[in-house]
Structure 1
Amino acid sequence: MKSDPVDLLQPLWRALVAFRVIAFGFACFGVWTRWDGIVRPSGAALQLAVMGVWTVVSSIGYSRRWGRRNTRLAFADLVITVGCMYATLLAQPLLDIRAGASVLTSVWAAGPVLALAISRGRDGGLLGAVIVSLALLSLRGVDHVPKILGNVQLLLVAGLVVGYAASTMRQAGARLREAIATESATAERLRLSRSIHDGVLQVLAQVQRRGTAIGGEALELAELAAEQEVALRTLMSSRPTVGEGGSVDLCGLLLPLATTRVDVVVPAASVLLPAATAAELVAAVNEALSNVDKHAGPDARSWVVVEDLGDEVVVSIRDDGIGTTPARLEQARVDGHLGVSESIRGRIADLGGTVMVRTAPGEGTEWELKVAT
């Protein structure tokens, strides 16, 4: 079986293969011990031959990636196993089976129940258990329900327990893969950060200092060097944005907004939100920063701060620009300038959140966006 370090279901598949082989051995032993009581021995031999061939085929399939990832093999296993159960009629008349003769598949019939439980989880295991139980009931007859009830219960419990275990292990495997990917990305980022810090960032810092000191045309070069330094530092501090269950890290989405005039301050831990909620928050922050560029003055700086309060997330956008008055903001909405009313207030309102704005002439503007987690 090909090794896969993050496939935690491999031990279950190996156990299934071992069970298939051992159960086939038990079925053969059962036929051998009851050989003299079988009405048509040739039918029993044919049934065992089919079971043996399918045991080999299914075992090979469950030992390969295509057999484990494709549930068609498990469903084919179910169909063929039920067929082999009815093939007992080739060896024993139905009346003899209902009179107490054994179904020759014996415990081998539980194989597809386990296979479906591993591949499809609890629901798959229960489905397989119900179908195999109905096939057994149809062969035994209604009069034998008390006698086969124990077998049915074992099949149902096996399908439920193994299915639940497989689902849990599958979720754990997904988290493990995410953790490995994050660790690898972090290690690579640290390696690149050391290289960049030792070379590129030092050069950019030197260009910025010298250009500022020289002035004139060199000042523009210093500004470009400062912008690139901030961009590189932001890249070095970036982190994965995808979280568990389709959620995303809001901090990872906001960090790239940092520039020489915009500082982004986020918690060390991830702030996970639904992807749609995070996207709307980032769009609202972008609109607020755009308003700073347009109206706060050429030298205005901005600060974006993220706070995780547990049941809600607060994003503050503050600038040290020329500011305005609430009346002018309302007049802008009336005049049809929808940046504030729609792109900021409207987005947050659609998320069920709240928006507060504090501003005054000469004191800059501060937006506070709150949404529930």
Structure 2
Amino acid sequence: MTSETGPGRGESAGESADLLLPLWRALVVFRMITWGFACFGVWTRWDGIVRPSGAVLQLAIMGVWTVIASIGYSRHWGRRNTRLAVADLLVTVGCMYATLLAQPLLDIRAGASVLTSVWAAGPVIALAISRGRDGGLLGAATISLALLSLRGVDNAAKMLSNVQLLLVAGIVVGYAASTMRAANRRLREAIAAESATAERLRLSRSIHDGVLQVLAQVQRRGTAIGGEAVELAGLAAEQEVALRTLMASRPVDGAGGRADLCGLLLPLATTRVDVVVPADQVMVPAAVAAELVAAVKEALSNVDKHAGPDARAWVVVEDLGTDVLVSVRDDGAGTTPDRLDRAGADGHLGVSQSIRGRIRDLGGSVGVRTAPGEGTEWEMKVSRT
């Protein structure tokens, strides 16, 4: 956040884009104007005030606190938590009771004005901006109770309009602040994602123009030369795949505890594993994504152990709208469904627990197609919600 005149020396550029700044600035203006109204009210009722010196002292205290609060609300330290807003509420309640320095309690309950007037609504707005609707309601209730204690229960009906205005102000400003805070969070995430994407594209161009071309050349030359150079070609091929996977990776975290399943699966690509995902993100609950990734890793582990040294595997993600389908297919030795079932009975729990168990716990379904010499294909389907 920033001060009213621009970013402070210790404040970041991200804080200067805070969408709540206009509300805080409006509160500062409101505080100053309403203090002026309170002073004008005392001046117009000067002859009816029993102890004018007490009224002057009260206005002076209100003026000093208005300056302190205005400076605080104009700085990041005053807006980053609710301490200043709570202090504002307590000081304002104290200033309301300070009316007793100018007017006896019996006169106030007989109809004399509480000298704070509209100035007392300041902390209601501050708490609404800082803590949303609940903060606004807390501030409105506190000020209303203080006013009721001064006016007396017999005058509660006359205070109804003032209480309603305080409650409406707290709710409306609180709702607006909560909405703007959520919009500000999404804006920051979008800016961060855009910056990360731009940097990734820049690095991708540099890698493509340099490192990838060298690795591809090493792979071709090593294969052509043969002998020990074939091993070097294989290493170059693995590093090429790793770099391409890194270049294709994207942010996986999302709002509300959700994650991009595609971003989590892309790093599993190797020279023997191809990962095919949609162009758009496939957002699922983070816990669901973690379990799906673990099941896919177990299926790929089975490919390494049982499909054969030359087997290749493909991981495919399909977005079905309300559901997500993840398939893991290989062209290896294959087996029979009966052997898969017997493996679980024999104590080999990779299939029964790590794959089927995980998806079943998510409320999804698992299908498998396999035959000797025809490879194996797993299909894992879960709900996105």
Cα shift readout 1:208-253 (whole Å, capped 9, x = no counterpart):
1111111111111111111000100111111001111121111111
Matched, 1:203 2:245: no
Q: Is the 8 Å Cα contact of residues 258 and 264 (structure 1) preserved in structure 2?
A: yes
Secondary structure, aligned partner of 2:251: coil
Letter in 2 for 1:109: A
Q: CA deviation at 1:297?
A: 0.4
Secondary structure, aligned partner of 1:303: strand
Choose which of 125, 144, 152 in structure 2 pairs with 1:133. Answer: 144
Letter in 2 for 1:59: S
Who is 2:200 aligned against? 189
Counterparts of 1:1-373 in structure 2, within 5 Å, are 1=3, 2-3=6-7, 4-373=15-384
Q: CA deviation at 1:5?
A: 3.8
How far apart, in 2, do the equivalents of 1:201 and 1:124 lie?
Answer: 56
Who is 2:12 aligned against? none
Q: CA deviation at 1:146?
A: 2.5
Letter in 2 for 1:126: L
Secondary structure, aligned partner of 1:154: helix
Q: Which runs of 5+ in 2 are unaligned?
A: 8-14
Secondary structure, aligned partner of 2:256: helix
How far apart, in 2, do the equivalents of 1:267 and 1:124 lie?
Answer: 43
Letter in 2 for 1:365: T
Q: Is the 8 Å Cα contact of residues 71 and 119 (structure 1) preserved in structure 2?
A: yes
How far apart, in 2, do the equivalents of 1:346 and 1:122 lie?
Answer: 44
The TM-score, its normalising length taken from structure 2, stands at 0.96
Q: CA deviation at 1:6?
A: 3.1
Cα shift readout 1:285-307 (whole Å, capped 9, x = no counterpart):
00000000000000111110111
The TM-score, its normalising length taken from structure 1, stands at 0.99
Letter in 2 for 1:90: L
How far apart, in 2, do the equivalents of 1:352 and 1:325 lie?
Answer: 25
How far apart, in 1, do the equivalents of 2:40 and 2:364 lie?
Answer: 69
Cα shift readout 1:305-353 (whole Å, capped 9, x = no counterpart):
1111111111110111110000110111111011001111111111111
- Higher mean Cα deviation, 168-177 or 268-277? 268-277
Q: Which runs of 5+ in 1 are unaligned?
A: none
How far apart, in 1, do the equivalents of 2:378 and 2:75 lie?
Answer: 56
Q: Is the 8 Å Cα contact of residues 6 and 176 (structure 1) preserved in structure 2?
A: no
Letter in 1 for 2:146: A
Distance 1:186 1:345, change over 3 A: same
How far apart, in 1, do the equivalents of 2:281 and 2:92 lie?
Answer: 49
How far apart, in 1, do the equivalents of 2:138 and 2:317 lie?
Answer: 48
How far apart, in 1, do the equivalents of 2:373 and 2:17 lie?
Answer: 58
Secondary structure, aligned partner of 1:244: coil
Q: CA RMSD in A?
A: 0.9
Letter in 1 for 2:69: S
